[in-house]
Every structure is written in structure tokens, then in C-alpha cells.
Structure 1
Amino acid sequence: MARKKQIIIPIAILAIGIGAYIGFSSMKKPPEEKAEVDNTPIVEVKNITVMPMTMKVSSYGVVKPKYETTIVAQVSGEVVELSDTFVRGGLVKKGQLLARIDPNDYHAALIDAQANMASARAALETEVAQGKVAEKEWQQITDTSPTELSLRKPQLAQELANVKSAQAAILRAERNLQRTEIRAPYDAMINSRSIGLGSFVGVGSEIGMLLGTAVAEVRLPVADNQLQYLINQGLQSKVNLSGTFAGEAIQWPAEIVRSEGVVDDNSRMTYLVAEIQDPYYLNDHNQESALPLRFGAYVTAKILGINIEHASIVPQYLVVNNQVALLDSDSKLHYADVNIVRQEGGNVVINKGLLDGDQLIVSSLDYPVEGMKLSLVTDVQDEQNDNSSTSAEKIDVVNNENEGE
């Protein structure tokens, strides 16, 4: 009996151990399978836009009149009249009276010159008559040819000279009388006035300064390396001027009319001169509501240059050795050779090597290799969103089953 117990007990313990092992093994969860990791580089792209483009060269300048004139007195005398518009900022028309110098002395001088003219003409007529009498008397005395002295020709020449001198005196007196009236030589704005009513001016005394309002000019400095983007070095090019008037941003059209032809010693710039017709809109009645381009205003300029049929703008840092990285239709890396026309700030203008709709890679790659497989950020995000949606649906199903139980 004891022997049977010694045999049965170990067997029972072994059976219990095996049963416990089997029970615990059935309770252990199997290891979850790990998802395959996708090591494809993820990139961000930007679509290339190719379109016609007009090159523009930026510049700046100050608006000045094409003509400005300092008016000085050509006769002396007291200022007896001043126009109401002869004030700083006043607008005057060509030929308009600005000031008048006392003309009385010059009227008297003209009358005196006219009197001298009358006397000279009378003396000339008398001398002509005396010459005819002398000729008749000579013919009655002798048949020989008379001398010029006997015919009083020297006296006649003297009287003719006196008449011409009297004519010159009249012209001088009339001119001096006209100069007592100070008139505007062209349509202008009064920049300054140096005289007052009752003041005395002498010959050469400054009266004021006029600024012509018909045409304004702006000197535009342009770097030598920018001239290549302009047609005919900018001559006859259109210009868009930008400035402010009463706090409002305004644009005015202009045109390059000439180049100063030299490089400035200080700035090393070439100066192009742009002209603006009727900057104050005084003659164009259709532009009465337009804001004027005032003299002295600071403006920025965009000079229109050459046209490029197929141009695209790319950030400069994406161009390496005249190549840019593209994502081709097979989602692979492709390096395209490009031709850079111009650099504009942090961008470059490219005219060859890119097509409209090309996908430019704007993110960095650690070890880029031509033809390597790439993934878009948007595709990865869409896939993650799909996985998240699927997981959420599974959780909802489990929750619903638990609630049903």
C-alpha cells in the first residue's frame, strides 16, 4: 500500500503541473505583429508657374521741373504794380504780367527818341533837296563830271546815319519800355519772389524764380549691371512712378527721354532722365480730379524692360549649381538644369529648364540621389488620417459589443 502511494503521488503532482502549465499557456496573449516601417523620405513640394514676364528695374529720385528760371530786372526803377498770383506757389500762364516797374521815364525816353527821329528825317530830306540843287548848279557851270563833295554826298551819308541812329534809339526806348513789364516766359509756378511793392530794382536785380509746369523730370540712378534688362539701355522705356499725396499712394506714368551718358563719380551709377508731361494736370481737363505730381516729391520708379516669354520665379536657396530638385510623375527625385536670367532679392528668375506644373521640392533631403523614391507630405498625412479613422471605427465596434453584452 505504501509502495502504491509512493508511485501515485509523484504521478499526480506531475499531472497537476502539466495541467497548470497548459492552463497558464492558454491565458498568455500572442505577441502582436509589428507593422512594416516605411523609410521613404517625405518631401514638401510647390507647383511651378511659368508665364510671360516683363523685367523691371527699380530706381528712385526727386521730381524737379525741366525748366526753372531766375527772373532779373533789365531796367531800373520803382516797382509800382504786383500781380496777385505773383506769390510763392502761384500758378501763372505764359505772358501773364507779374510786376511792373515805373514806366514814366521810359515813356519820356521813347518820346525823345521819336523826336530825334523826326529831326533826323527832316535833316535827311533837306540834304536830299540840297544835293539836287547842287547837281543842277554844277551842270549850269560846267560840263565836267561833278565830284561827290560838290554833290553833297558826304553830307547825305551823314544824315542817313543820323536817321539810322534815331531808329536804333527808338527801338532801344521801346524795348526798355517793354521791359518795365515783367511777364512769365512760360506756364509756371512761382517758386520765390524777391521784390515788394514800392521797392527799387536796378539792372540785374533778382525779381523771383519760376518753375515750368509743362514738363517735370526725375533723375533715376541705375546700376550698370541692371542696364542689360532694359531695351536700348532704357531709352524711350516706360516708367511707373509711385509716391504719396496727402497720405494716399499714387502712381504716375513717365518715359525715359535721355541718359546723362556718364557714370557718377560718387555713386558709380548711370543716370536716366524720365519726363512727366503736365505733372499738375493744368492742361488736361479730363484729369481734373487726378492728384498732381508735385515738385520736390520723392518717388520710386519701376522702369519697364525686356520681355521673357517663359519665366518662373524660384527661391534662390533651392538652386544649386544651376539645378533644382523636382518630384517627377513617378514620385522620384529628378534634378533639372535651369538657366538663371536674374536675381531679385531672395529669388531668381528662370527662363529655361522648368515647365508649368512641375513640382519643385522645397524641403531639404539628407542624402539626395537622382531617381530615389520620395513621398509627399500630403500623401502621408492622408494615410495617417485613414488609419486613424479605421482605428476609431474598430474602437466604436468593440464599445458597441461591450454595451450589448
Structure 2
Amino acid sequence: MATKKQIIIPIVILATGIAAMAIFSSMKKPPEEKEKVDNTPIVAVENISVAPMTLEVNSYGMVKPKYETELIAQVNGEIVELNDVFVRGGFVKKDQLLARIDPSDYHAALIDAQASMATARAALEKEVAQGKVAEREWRQIENSSPTELSLRKPQLAQELARVKAAQASILRAERNLERTEIRAPYDAMIDSRNVGLGSFVGIGSKIGHVLATAIAEIRLPVADNQLAFLVKTKSAKAGVNAQVNLIGTYAGKDTQWQAKIARSEGVIDNKSRMSYLVAEINDPYLLNSSNKSSNAPLRFGSYVNAKIMGYTISQASLVPRYLVVNGKVAILDSESKLNYVTIDIVRQQGSHVVVANGLADGDQLIVSALDYPVDGMKLALISNESQQEEKDVEAEKSETQMASNKESGE
């Protein structure tokens, strides 16, 4: 039979174990709840700016005079006079004397022609008088009709021919005398001079070379597919009258000049396969005081870059080319959702494309990559996420500070 002690001890041990279990259970912390993870994709955006845009076509070319002339001697003789400005780089006015060929022989030829003219006129007057006498004598003869020879008409015609020949000789002599003076055909700059004082020149000898300073022109190659940006309608005169900004250097500084497309050559070059537009600029050397378009001369032979102004798009925007996929771009709409919109691409401009339709001013263009984009999916802005993270950090700092203050107070 069990004793009282044997019964009490197991009961005490069991009660002690239950009490200890209850104490330990009360000390156990409940499991922490895990915060919900936001898996919304985060994107970066750029605001779209829509504004009028004038299309440009880039080109390049060499500045040349519109007119240039090789001065050629038309008579023989010795160079007896040279103008001081008849040197390379000299500027001359129209009809200004550049050089003179010895005119002595041509003066003599003119006097000889004038003398022949006087002799021919005298013979003509004598023949006219003789013809009148013959006609008067024939009127006194009855029952007979005079012949042309009897009235001296062939002789009169012969003398008239001699007078005309004498007139031609005078004109020829005067023209040869004028040709002894080499004059500038227009306002020009001297490009070269091939004679010196005392040189003998013959017909066809080169005297010099002059460049017209009134107008300069630049041949600008343009790819055939770029002509469409100069006019909206199909035309063979694409780009004519378009404004051109010429960019070059003068005295080591970048300088701009304003020009205008004067004409199109109308053919495609066999070698370059390019179309050529010709730009013109008036008074490139600023010799005319009324020219205020530039503060620096545009010298012949200069290499310039050109921006040809095309037509203007009333509502246009620039979009990075890599963001366009199948003619669409990704937009973050007002509900923070992904939205693909179709755009009307006018042209490619470097690393961007010019968009005419499809985008509005202030649209948010998504510029970051998405792993699995789905039209209409919910998105979050990277700026909003950053602001939330900063708020969380500030909250943690505040809680830590409060706990520290509590412990110090205790």
C-alpha cells in the first residue's frame, strides 16, 4: 500500500511542471507579422514638350563667285599701262581700266578708215550728180526710154557699196581701238594677272582672271529623301527660296551668314547620287555699305556648313529613338498605368525622332525599361518610391530616438 509521501510527491512535481509551462508560455512573444511587399514596377519618366518646330536639312559646300571671267586679249600689241589695283586680291569697279595695249597702230588704222570713208562719200556724191545729169538729158530725147546703165544706176549702187564698206572699216577700227583697253566687265576682285608692263600679247593671250563680287553661290548636296522636308507638296523646285544659315570661320571665330536657295540643279549627280541646291548671298565681301546682314566677309573658297530651313510643324516634340517600338511609345497615364500610344514620326534627327501627332504637352514618357510590360498595368514613379523610403527612414529614426529617451528616463 502506497504511503502518503509517495502520493504527494508526484502531484507536487506535476503541479510544478504545469506552473513552469504556464510561466514560459506567458513569456513567449507572439510571431511578428510580415509587412506586405509592394511589387508594383517602378519607372522613370520625362515630361513631353510640344511646340512649333521648323525642320532643317544639313549640308555643306564651298563658296564660289556666281560669275567669273577670263580676260583675253582681242588685239595684238605691247602692254603700255597697268592699273595699280590690277593685282591678285584687288577690288575693281565695272568698266574700270585694268591694262592698256599700245593703241598707236589702231589709231592709225582708224584714221585710214576715216579717210577711205571720205573718199567713198565724195565718189558717191559725184555719182549722184552724174546720175541726175543723165536723167535730165534723157528727158529731152523723145521716142526712147533710157536703160538703168544710161541713168548710171549700177555706178551709183557701186559707190553706195564702197561707202558701206568704208563705214564697216571705221567700225572695225574703232572696235579694235576700244579693245586696246582691258576693262573690268563688272564689280570684281582680281583672282590673277598674267601679264606685266611691256609684255607683248597676241589675240587669245590670257590677261587675267576676275571674280564677280556682287553675288556668291554655294552648291549644297542634299540627299534625295531629305528634299521632302523642304516642301510639303511634291515639286521639282523643292527648297527654292528657302532660307539658309551658313556657318563657317573668319579670323578664327565661328561666324554665321544668311543666304537663300536660288535654284535647284534638277538632276542627281552620277557620282555622289545627291541632288544639288544652289544658295546665293549678296555682297559677300561687304563692299556695299547698305549690307548689314553680317559683320564679317564671306570669302571665296571658304568651306561652310549649311542649315536649310524647311517647313514648320505646328505641334511637334522630340522623342529618344530607342523608346519607339513598332511606332508606339510607353506613356504613364493620369491613373499611373502603362499606356502605349501610336505616334506619327516625321523624321529621324540624330538620336531622336520628330513626332507630329500622338503626344500632348505634359505627357509622361516612360524612359526606363520594363521586364514584362502589359498595357494597362499599374506602375509607380521612381520619385514617389524614393520619397516613401525617405519617410520610412525618418520614422525609424524618430522611434529609435524616443526609445533612447525612455531608457535614459528610467
Name the TM-score, length of structure 1 as normaliser: 0.91
Structure 1 position 343, deviation (Å): 1.6
SS at match of 2:156: helix
Q: Amino acid of the residue matched to residue 204 of structure 2?
A: G
> Bigger CA drift: 176-185 or 310-319?
310-319
SS at match of 1:287: coil
Determine whether 1:69 maps to 2:69.
yes
Where does residue 175 of structure 2 map in the other structure? 175
Give unpaired runs (5+ residues) of structure 2: none
SS at match of 1:364: coil
Where does residue 189 of structure 1 map in the other structure? 189
* C-alpha distance in structure 1 between counterparts of 2:170 and 2:122, whole Å: 16
Determine whether 1:251 maps to 2:256.
yes
SS at match of 2:34: coil
SS at match of 2:340: strand
CA shift in 2, pair 1:93/1:222, >3 Å: same
> Bigger CA drift: 110-119 or 21-30?
21-30
* C-alpha distance in structure 2 between counterparts of 1:360 and 1:181, whole Å: 74
Where does residue 357 of structure 2 map in the other structure? 352
Contact 2:283 2:291 in 1 (8 A): no
Deviations 1:85-141 (Å, cap 9, x if unpaired)? 111111111111111111111111111211222222222223333333444455567
Structure 1 position 21, deviation (Å): 6.4
Determine whether 1:203 maps to 2:208.
no
Where does residue 122 of structure 1 map in the other structure? 122
* C-alpha distance in structure 2 between counterparts of 1:81 and 1:143, whole Å: 72
Where does residue 39 of structure 2 map in the other structure? 39
Determine whether 1:80 maps to 2:80.
yes
Contact 1:281 1:288 in 2 (8 A): no
Where does residue 294 of structure 1 map in the other structure? 299
SS at match of 2:118: helix
Contact 1:214 1:277 in 2 (8 A): yes
* C-alpha distance in structure 2 between counterparts of 1:74 and 1:171, whole Å: 15
Deviations 1:228-247 (Å, cap 9, x if unpaired)? 12224212222222111122
SS at match of 2:314: strand
* C-alpha distance in structure 2 between counterparts of 1:188 and 1:20, whole Å: 118
Determine whether 1:220 maps to 2:220.
yes
Give unpaired runs (5+ residues) of structure 1: none
Q: State the identity as a percent.
A: 67
Where does residue 106 of structure 2 map in the other structure? 106
SS at match of 1:367: coil
> Bigger CA drift: 121-130 or 35-44?
121-130
Contact 1:60 1:300 in 2 (8 A): yes
Contact 1:337 1:353 in 2 (8 A): yes
* C-alpha distance in structure 1 between counterparts of 2:186 and 2:361, whole Å: 55
Contact 1:75 1:180 in 2 (8 A): yes
RMSD: 2.5
* C-alpha distance in structure 1 between counterparts of 2:331 and 2:139, whole Å: 118
Please give the residue correspondences for 1:84-99 in structure 2 after superposition, counting only pairs within 5 Å. Answer: 84-99=84-99
Name the TM-score, length of structure 2 as normaliser: 0.90
CA shift in 2, pair 1:68/1:179, >3 Å: same
> Bigger CA drift: 246-255 or 43-52?
246-255
* C-alpha distance in structure 2 between counterparts of 1:24 and 1:149, whole Å: 165
SS at match of 1:294: coil
* C-alpha distance in structure 2 between counterparts of 1:372 and 1:245, whole Å: 57
Structure 1 position 143, deviation (Å): 6.4
Please give the residue correspondences for 1:208-357 in structure 2 after superposition, counting only pairs within 5 Å. Answer: 208-231=208-231, 232=235, 233-285=238-290, 287=292, 290-357=295-362
Determine whether 1:159 maps to 2:159.
yes
Contact 2:257 2:294 in 1 (8 A): no
Contact 1:314 1:349 in 2 (8 A): yes
Determine whether 1:147 maps to 2:113.
no
Deviations 1:171-216 (Å, cap 9, x if unpaired)? 1111111111111111111111111111111101011111111111
CA shift in 2, pair 1:81/1:10, >3 Å: farther
> Bigger CA drift: 137-146 or 48-57?
137-146
* C-alpha distance in structure 2 between counterparts of 1:5 and 1:207, whole Å: 149
SS at match of 1:285: coil
